[in-house]
Amino acid sequence: MKIGELSRETGVSVRLLRYYEEQGLLASERTPGGQRVYGSDAPSVVRRIRALLGAGLPTRVIAEVLDCVCGSEGEIEPCLSPMLVARLDAIDEQLHDLRGTRSSLAALVAATEERKPATAD
C-alpha cells in the first residue's frame, strides 16, 4: 500500500504519516524508485497510533508501547495498565492544579470588575 492509499484509508495526512515513520511508530519499505510501501497491517497501526494520541500519550511513549496494543485500537496488554494508570493520575493532578489556577484567576477578574468605575449611558 502506498502512502497516498494509506492516507485515504485512514484519514491521516501524508505529512503526518511521514512524521509517524520518523518517530519510529510506522514502518515502510521503499520501492526501487524510493516510494514508501506499507504492509497490509498499516491501517490498523495508524488507528492504534491515533487512539493512543487521543488518550494523551506522547509519541515517545507510544513508540515504547505500540507493540503491546493488540486487537482493536483500544485493547492493550495488561502489563501496560500500571503505566497508563500513572499517566491518568498525572492528568488528574494537572486538572487539580488547573482548577486552582482558574479559581485564582477568576477571583482576580472578579476583584478587577468590582473596581471598575461605572460608565454613564
On whether the CB atoms of residues 7 and 19 are closer than 8 A, the answer is no
Element containing residue 75 per DSSP (H, E): strand 75-76
As given in the structure block, the three cell numbers for residue 106 are 477568576
Q: How confident is the model at residue 87 (pLDDT cuts 50, 70, 90)?
A: confident
Answer yes or no: is pLDDT of 42 > 90: yes
Looking up cell 484567576 gives 105
pLDDT value for 108: 94
* Nearest CA-CA partner of 13 in 26, 3, 24, 28: 3
On whether the CB atoms of residues 80 and 65 are closer than 8 A, the answer is yes
Residue 2 β-bridge partners: 37
**Arithmetic mean of pLDDT over the chain:** 88
Range with the poorest average pLDDT among 69-78, 83-92, 112-121: 69-78
DSSP 57: -
pLDDT value for 51: 87
Single pTM value for the model = 0.70
